[in-house]
Amino acid sequence: MERFFNSSGSFVAFRRSKTDRFLFDSSGNWIGWFPWGDEQAVDQSGSYLGTVVRNRLLKDLRARYRGYPGYPGYPGYAGYPGYPGFAGYVAKPAMFDDIEEERLKG
């Protein structure tokens, strides 16, 4: 399991493995996916959601539109990820910000 945190260190999302293309919120609800096989995630409607930066899921303020990624199909039940603890604060990279909390809820 690969867990993601915001810049404050709070657990916000996960995927079941490093190669899993589906993204889930901290309760196991499906919130998005990785359509291009890189670190950029979109929400269920195909709109940009965030970018993985090490173990953080952040909004890249420079993210450009890459086209509609289609629909990946239903990801199935992810299960409950448990509580991984607090990751600690990190400074946000330039031109990155935290994703709005309401976008990270399934």
The predicted-structure confidence for 56-93, as pLDDT tens digits, reads as follows: 999 999 999 999 999 999 899 998 899 898 999 999 99
DSSP class of residue 94 equals: T
What local confidence, expressed as pLDDT, does residue 42 receive?
A: 98
Structure tokens at 52: 């993985």
Residue 92 resides in a domain: yes
What local confidence, expressed as pLDDT, does residue 36 receive?
A: 96
Residue 48 resides in a domain: yes
Residue 13 resides in a domain: yes
Mean pLDDT value across residues 18-45:
96
Q: What angle do CA 100, 62, 34 make, to 5 degrees?
A: 65
Residue 103 resides in a domain: no
Residue 106 resides in a domain: no
Mean pLDDT value across residues 12-29:
96
* pTM (predicted TM-score): 0.93
Residue 104 resides in a domain: no
Mean model confidence pLDDT for the chain: 95
Pair 103, 48: CB distance under 8 Å: no
Question: Is a pLDDT exceeding 90 seen at residue 37?
Answer: yes
What's the structural domain count of the chain?
1
Question: Is a pLDDT exceeding 90 seen at residue 106?
Answer: no
Residue 22 resides in a domain: yes
Residue 27 resides in a domain: yes
Question: Can you give the residue range of the structural domain that contains 46?
Answer: 2-97
- Exposure letters 23-54 (e unless 16+ CB within 10 A, then b): bbbbeeebbbbbbeeeebbbbeebebbbbbbe
Pair 96, 61: CB distance under 8 Å: yes
What local confidence, expressed as pLDDT, does residue 103 receive?
A: 97
